[in-house]
């Protein structure tokens, strides 16, 4: 059947979607969520169908195409395309098997991930896959298969170097911008550390959001290789390159219900590390009230799984369990966190000592793993590199290679409007809740407003007098500041006893 193209002028984000008038759908015996092969010349795509009753939206004899489909077909309004019905992907049968609690093999999991990567599955179908993994779980073999499938359906950053270092924090701790201190220390020691990081999903800032305050974070694989050749390192957004791409689509589905199936968590992290040719990996699991992992028992369980899967992937791993019961650093939000990082690298008196201490510890472990320091001597060497200014110079080199300019902490501008949250009584700070602090910072506009967020004046165990500043909220306008203040009045997240 030939149909005339109508540009819907809407993008879906990634699913391939086409819209038919209900009369044409009836002729083709098509229903919602059916697949249609759309062909223009030598190019063709398989799209999921939506149906409209309105001739104004899509008249009979026409097919409405979303931006993703138009781009793949190189089509525009007025072109003619051939359409035909196609069967649903076989991967849907594999998803049904998982929903029934059956174990899947590598070929079945690969097919599911390949179909997700190539937009052959709808968001509803991917949701069923995520739900199946969440309710039925993935055993060790399935998790390894999922990891390998994510790797093999994306690009690989081939570096032909050894060792290649990498690190990852499970998350859930506000601030905690250790990566941006650790990477220049490790690179300054002569080790290769290509760091791809995420943007924020539910936090006030991801590493990529904070690094973007200083320089560009979006590059092609070829450009990343050139940056690493110049500097031994990079600090870029992983979403800008085709590394384990199906993972980003799965995360988008998980987000609304905050689902984080264990097997997918492990596969997600390790697939992205293997995709950058990492040979040595340091995993940081923060544990504590308000963190993503709240019990040491759960952290130890994850530690064993990380070690087992990494062994099968040929990655040498070290997993550390640290206190994650309160924010790390003082700044929470892209520019406030970037300022903290630069103060640490500049050895400024205003540097947050908890961020410095953790960064040195993590960098020290990587130096030991990479053979640049003897066991137990890594922290001392990392501190020497930091204090000498070598880490700061390396960070400047990375920033320049990533199209940024030389910048000092005091050059970073933060939100113009502010509100001071003060202690309601004298005592000792006994708890600062990560989740509450993150929600307040996001209400103020972080991470989209890079100058928005929170600056902590006090941490757990600090003494306060009634009226002392505990934290300051920053926003770019009065409206967002007012919104954040309303949120903090409900959940300030600070306990003073």
Please tell me which residue in 7, 50, 141, 260 is annotated as part of the active site: 260
Q: For residue 332, give the nearest of 166, 484, 196, 495 by alpha carbon.
A: 484
Active site residue 260: yes
Tell me the backbone φ, ψ of residue 193, rounded to 5 degrees: -145, 90
- Which residues share a beta bridge with 463? 428
CA distance 242 to 258: 24
Q: For residue 192, give the nearest of 163, 218, 213 by alpha carbon.
A: 163
Cβ neighbors of 388 (< 8 A, separation 6 or more) are none
CA 41 vs. chain centroid, Å, equals 38
CA distance 113 to 264: 12
CA distance 321 to 299: 7
Cis (ω within 30 of 0) for the bond into 354?
no
Cβ neighbors of 229 (< 8 A, separation 6 or more) are none
Q: What are the distances in angstroms from CA 83 to CA 25, 45, 113?
A: 11, 10, 26
Both tokens of 39, joined, read: 């062909």
Enzyme catalytic residues: 260
């Amino acid at each position: 059947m030939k149909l005339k193209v109508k540009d819907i002028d809407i993008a879906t984000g990634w699913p391939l979607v086409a819209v038919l008038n209900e009369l044409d759908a009836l002729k083709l015996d098509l229903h919602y969520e059916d697949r249609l092969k759309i062909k223009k010349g030598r190019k063709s795509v398989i799209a999921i169908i939506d149906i409209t009753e309105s001739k104004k939206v899509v008249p009979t004899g026409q097919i409405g195409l979303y931006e993703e489909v138009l781009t793949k077909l190189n089509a525009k309004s007025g072109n003619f395309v051939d359409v035909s019905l196609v069967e649903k992907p076989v991967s849907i049968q594999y998803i049904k098997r998982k929903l029934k609690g059956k174990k899947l093999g590598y070929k079945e999991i690969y097919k599911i991930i390949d179909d997700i990567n190539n937009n052959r599955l709808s968001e509803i179908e991917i949701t069923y896959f995520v739900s199946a993994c969440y309710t039925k779980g993935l055993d060790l073999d399935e998790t390894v298969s999922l990891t390998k499938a994510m790797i093999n359906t994306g690009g690989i950053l081939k570096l032909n170097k050894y060792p290649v270092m990498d690190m990852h924090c499970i998350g859930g701790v506000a601030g905690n911008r250790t990566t941006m201190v650790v990477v220049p220390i490790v690179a300054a020691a002569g080790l290769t550390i290509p760091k791809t990081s995420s943007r924020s999903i539910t936090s006030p800032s991801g590493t990529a959001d904070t690094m973007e305050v200083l320089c560009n974070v979006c590059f092609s694989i070829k450009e990343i290789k050139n940056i690493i050749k110049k500097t031994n390192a990079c600090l870029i957004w992983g979403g800008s390159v085709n590394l384990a791409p199906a993972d980003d689509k799965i995360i988008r589905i998980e987000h609304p219900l905050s689902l984080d199936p264990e097997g997918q968590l492990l596969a997600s992290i390790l697939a992205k590390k293997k995709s950058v040719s990492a040979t040595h990996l340091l995993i940081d699991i923060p544990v504590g009230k308000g963190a993503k992992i709240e019990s040491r028992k759960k952290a130890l369980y994850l530690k064993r799984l990380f070690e087992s899967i990494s062994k099968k992937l040929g990655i040498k791993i070290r997993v550390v369990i640290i206190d994650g019961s309160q924010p790390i650093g003082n700044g929470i939000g892209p520019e406030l966190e970037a300022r903290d990082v630069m103060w640490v690298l500049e050895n400024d008196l205003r540097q947050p000592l908890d961020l410095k201490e953790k960064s040195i510890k993590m960098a020290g472990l990587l130096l030991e793993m990479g053979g640049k320091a003897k066991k137990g001597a890594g922290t001392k060497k990392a501190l020497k590199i930091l204090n000498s200014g070598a880490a700061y110079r390396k960070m400047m080199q990375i920033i320049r290679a990533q199209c940024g300019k030389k910048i000092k902490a005091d050059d970073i501008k933060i939100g113009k409007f502010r509100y001071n949250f003060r202690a309601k009584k004298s005592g000792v700070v006994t708890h600062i809740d990560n989740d509450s602090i993150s929600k307040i910072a996001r209400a103020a506009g972080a991470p989209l407003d890079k100058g928005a967020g929170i600056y902590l004046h006090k941490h757990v165990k600090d003494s306060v007098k009634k009226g002392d500043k505990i934290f300051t909220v920053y926003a770019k306008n009065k409206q967002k500041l007012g919104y954040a203040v309303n949120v903090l009045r409900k959940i300030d997240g600070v306990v003073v006893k």
